[in-house]
Structure 1
Amino acid sequence: MPTLGDITALLDEWYPPQHADDWDAVGLVLGDPAHDVRRILLAVDPVTAVADEAILMDADLLVTHHPLFLKGVHGFAATDPKGRVAHRLTSNGCALFAAHTNADSPAGGVSESLALALGLEDVRPLEADPTPPLDKIVVFVPVDAAEQVRAALAAAGAGRVGDYDQASFSAPGLGRFRPLEGANPAIGEVGRPEVVEEVRIETVCPRHRRGSAVAAMVAAHPYEEPAYDVIELAPLDEPSRGSGRIGRLAAPMTLRDFAAHVDTALARTAHGVRVAGDPDQLVETVGLCGGAGDFLLDRARSAGVDVYLTSDLRHHPASELREHGAPALVDVAHWAAESTWLPVLRDRLVAALNDPGPGDTVEVRVSATNTDPWTFRV
């Protein structure tokens, strides 16, 4: 059976904690990484009803979208709601893990799951994350020293491209120089022009590794004064990671019909589906953000979407956007939007943890508890 440590490592790979917002608290909250995990429950909120559901299931792990603790605590006695959840889970041997803002933006994350639940096509980030900043290091090295310089650069973190490392490009050429008085040349003589067969080595390097990579290259280079360039590369957009999503419907429909489609596709809540716009307006391009997404209102308008769907829209931002006349707005329950991620996560976990063939399997369930805080409306 996989251990809790195995599963948390997998979740951190899919939803890297370094992509969480600074204020967020993600990762393993409760549990021993050495313990085996046979049953997992997935939910949006770590509330008492969900904890009871996990205990009834005899779950070894509860994975939630929202964290249990966002602020520092001095204890978690069972006398308050958060402490009660922690006490019940730990008393029954159930670990707790949270993937929050780090699960919003990646492929297979919350916003993409919402887009797929609505049947959108050609889905991509509404506001793509930039790729990590990169430099290109170019250095000119005598042929017989090229390999040691390549190795030094790679050891310092240069040359990593996706799932490959030690990546570089080389081209032959001639280096020309004349050592002056006071020089101690590795090749040639003071005052005499020299021509040397050299190799041009190019490799990429994460910008935060620039200093150590250049220092390693200089230390490995046989010349007193190596010739090299450091070029800052233009940032590119990540094709599959970013805030929100944009896509298109398979066929245009009126805003009224789109709202009905949303109501059918998402779990029912007392909140329902609120709409701002002309009911007869045709919509095809849809922007959305799982959870509270009013920070993307201007981005949705500039992207030219026909309708923008999110949760927790406030009066003034919504009113100001509607002054522009477009896009239409659809506001859905926060829990209903984010719960679309749970079946996606379940399928990923089942596929990753259960090899085909006979043997023990890990059971993964989506919580049946509706944790939307609103219970009715008049």
Structure 2
Amino acid sequence: MPLTVADVVAVLEEHYPPRTAQDWDAVGLVAGDPAAAVTSVVLAVDPTEEVVAEALDHGADLLVTHHPLYLRGTSSVAASDPKGRVVHRLVTGGCALYAAHTNADAAADGVSQALADLLGLTGTAPVEPLDAELDTLTTFVPRDHTAAVLDALAAAGAGRLGDYERAAFHSPGTGTFRPLPGAHPAVGQVGAVAEVAEDRLEMVLPRERRAAVLTALRQAHPYEEPAHSLVAQAPVPAATGTGRIGRLPEAMTLRAFAELVARVLPATAQGIRVGGDLDAEVRTVAVCGGSGDSLLGRVRSLGADVYLTADLRHHPASEHLAGGRPFLVDATHWASEWPWLPRAAEVLRAAALARGARLDLHVSTLVTDPWAVHLPQTPSGAASPHEGASS
């Protein structure tokens, strides 16, 4: 049985949870019927007209892109502009569109981690980790209902710890209570003290699942008024977050590192730009796929020797380099984010195989940077900035 758009979206959102996206971002299903069957998926960085044409030529039922089509919303999808034409071509071609943007950036196996792995970095950690906001739920359940309540809480999102689910602790004890007039007790009689063999059940849950877990508790628990307490845990750094920092297996010069970057990243017209002492030794490396000059201060504070990112602006970059390390290596936006696409494709491939479904996956290599060619400048035939100036 083929997967549906909703099935593929569920796999993507398990690995790249929308809750980890930035508040300003627009991630998720952009166009398409969640119930539609999917046998072919194309993955790309940008939902440009050229990429959409490639997806339709490939017979794709779903196009997964890193960048959203409408980041700031719209009031029109008329085909009189490029974005509107994209929507029309997708709809008429029967191809859905899904975007995983800053949630894919932040993921433990997301955009920046793919970039770090490509360089062989070890001991990686987020440059700006997202704090994990967790609660601990404690409740008391008649012993013969413990498993059912535990399962209901797990289904609502409790008990997930890293690569483990349904994680819980329960211990035996005795519960006691006296039902008052108007109560309809599942155990005991109105006005009489009851003693019940109960289990104390404790589970951790993400804070954003608090309402769903409490609803599941009330629905699954046999008591009219299930006793419980919910305690907010202190925030702890998570494996998710913006950028990555790690170490090269061996120290190398900045020049050698830049040459490594040029070898492992897909080629673009701009190529790789480098700022700093080319003969200096580097080993601690920070990376951020996409535009990353907002992290310049942070990577310096973490002791990075060199920082690889994209779209570095003139003034932030020059002012930063005046202060020394980390040196800067600047790739293009597309090249720094493309390495995530094969990784996301493998996530979908594994999910399809696990369900016995057929899923054709194609990673687009269309370069969607706006620059088409790089023309090196030579001194011959070029006027000097000082030529013609008065002496």
User: Could you state the TM-score of these two structures normalised by the residue count of structure 2?
Assistant: 0.77
Partner of 1:284: 283
Which blocks of at least 5 consecutive residues in structure 2 are unaligned?
A: 177-190, 378-391
Give the root-mean-square deviation of aligned CA atoms: 3.6
Partner of 2:388: none
In 1: Cα distance, 2:167 partner to 2:94 partner: 44
| Equivalent position SS for 2:106 | coil
Taking a change above 3 Å as real, the CA distance of residues 229 and 88 of structure 1, as seen in their structure-2 partners, is closer
Q: Deviations over 1:196-241 (max 9, x none)?
A: 999894724545459989999xx96999xx9x976543222223x1
Deviation at 1:154, TM superposition (A): 8.5
Equivalent positions of 1:67-216 (< 5 A) are 67-135=68-136, 137=138, 160-162=159-161, 163-165=164-166, 167-170=168-171, 201=200, 203-206=202-205, 207=207, 208=210
Q: Deviations over 1:109-159 (max 9, x none)?
A: 1111111122222223222221123246588x9xxx677899889867796
2:123·2:247 contact (CA, 8 Å) conserved in 1?
yes
Q: Deviations over 1:38-76 (max 9, x none)?
A: 221111011111111112112111111111112332321
Q: 2:368 aligns with which of 358, 361, 371?
A: 371
Taking a change above 3 Å as real, the CA distance of residues 159 and 348 of structure 1, as seen in their structure-2 partners, is closer
| Equivalent position SS for 2:261 | helix
Deviation at 1:285, TM superposition (A): 1.2
1:158·1:203 contact (CA, 8 Å) conserved in 2?
no
In 1: Cα distance, 2:60 partner to 2:165 partner: 38
In 2: Cα distance, 1:42 partner to 1:154 partner: 36
Partner of 2:299: 300
In 1: Cα distance, 2:372 partner to 2:109 partner: 30
1:287·1:307 contact (CA, 8 Å) conserved in 2?
yes
Is the counterpart of residue 334 in structure 1 residue 322 in structure 2?
no
In 1: Cα distance, 2:289 partner to 2:278 partner: 23
Is the counterpart of residue 315 in structure 1 residue 314 in structure 2?
yes
Partner of 1:27: 28
- Count of residues paired in the alignment: 353
In 1: Cα distance, 2:49 partner to 2:10 partner: 26
In 1: Cα distance, 2:43 partner to 2:323 partner: 40
In 2: Cα distance, 1:291 partner to 1:71 partner: 18
Partner of 2:344: 345
Q: Deviations over 1:325-369 (max 9, x none)?
A: 111111110000001111111222222213699xx7321111131
| Equivalent position SS for 1:104 | helix
Partner of 2:242: 243
1:158·1:205 contact (CA, 8 Å) conserved in 2?
no
User: Could you state the TM-score of these two structures normalised by the residue count of structure 1?
Assistant: 0.80
Equivalent positions of 1:12-23 (< 5 A) are 12-23=13-24
Partner of 2:180: none
Greater Cα offset, 333-342 or 8-17: 8-17
Deviation at 1:77, TM superposition (A): 1.8
1:3·1:33 contact (CA, 8 Å) conserved in 2?
yes
Is the counterpart of residue 361 in structure 1 residue 362 in structure 2?
no
| Equivalent position SS for 2:248 | strand
In 2: Cα distance, 1:221 partner to 1:3 partner: 39
**AA aligned opposite 2:342:** P
1:153·1:213 contact (CA, 8 Å) conserved in 2?
no
In 1: Cα distance, 2:264 partner to 2:157 partner: 46
In 1: Cα distance, 2:198 partner to 2:19 partner: 38
Deviation at 1:169, TM superposition (A): 4.1
Partner of 2:258: 259
Partner of 2:55: 54
**AA aligned opposite 1:5:** A
Taking a change above 3 Å as real, the CA distance of residues 137 and 365 of structure 1, as seen in their structure-2 partners, is same
In 2: Cα distance, 1:305 partner to 1:118 partner: 15
In 2: Cα distance, 1:199 partner to 1:374 partner: 68
Taking a change above 3 Å as real, the CA distance of residues 337 and 353 of structure 1, as seen in their structure-2 partners, is same
Q: Percent identity of the aligned residues?
A: 45
2:173·2:200 contact (CA, 8 Å) conserved in 1?
no
In 2: Cα distance, 1:290 partner to 1:237 partner: 21
